[in-house]
Amino acid sequence: MHPILTTVLQRLALGVLTLFFVSVIIFSSIEFLPGDFTEAVLGQTATEETVAAFRRELGLDQPAYVRYFDWIGALAQGDLGTSFSGRASSGIDRSRPVIDLVGPRLENTLFLATMTAIIAVPLALTLGILAALYRGSIFDRGVNAVTLTTIAMPEFLVAYILILFLASLNPIFPSLANINADTPFWERVYKCALPAMTLTLVIVAHMMRMTRAAIINLLASPYIEMARLKGLSPRNVILTHALPNAWAPIANVVAFNLAYLVVGVVVVEVVFVYPGVGQLMVDAVTTRDIPVVQACALIFAATYIVLNLLADIISIVTNPRLLHPR
Q: Would you state the CATH architecture of domain 98-319?
A: Orthogonal Bundle (1.10)
Q: Give me the pLDDT at residue 283, please.
A: 87
Digit-coded pLDDT (tens) for 268-280: 999 999 999 988 9
- pLDDT-derived band at 219 (thresholds 50, 70, 90) equals confident
Distance CA 115, CA 95 (A): 32
Of 93 and 186, which is predicted with more confidence?
A: 186
As a whole number, mean pLDDT of residues 238-248 equals 76
| Model pTM score | 0.84
Residue 86 has pLDDT above 80, yes or no: no
Reported as a pLDDT band with limits 50, 70 and 90, residue 301 is confident
Alpha helices in 135-242 (DSSP H): 138-152, 155-163, 185-191, 193-218, 222-229, 234-236
C-alpha–C-alpha distance, residues 323 and 326, integer Å: 10
Top mean-pLDDT range of 127-136, 240-249, 251-260, 269-278? 269-278
CB atoms within 10 A of CB 98: 25
The rounded distance, in Å, linking the Cα atoms of 86 and 177 is: 26
**Segments making up each domain of the chain, as ranges:** 3-76, 98-319
List pLDDT tens digits, range 25-49. 888 888 777 766 776 666 666 677 7
Q: Give the per-residue pLDDT at 164.
A: 92
189 pLDDT band, cuts 50/70/90, is: very high
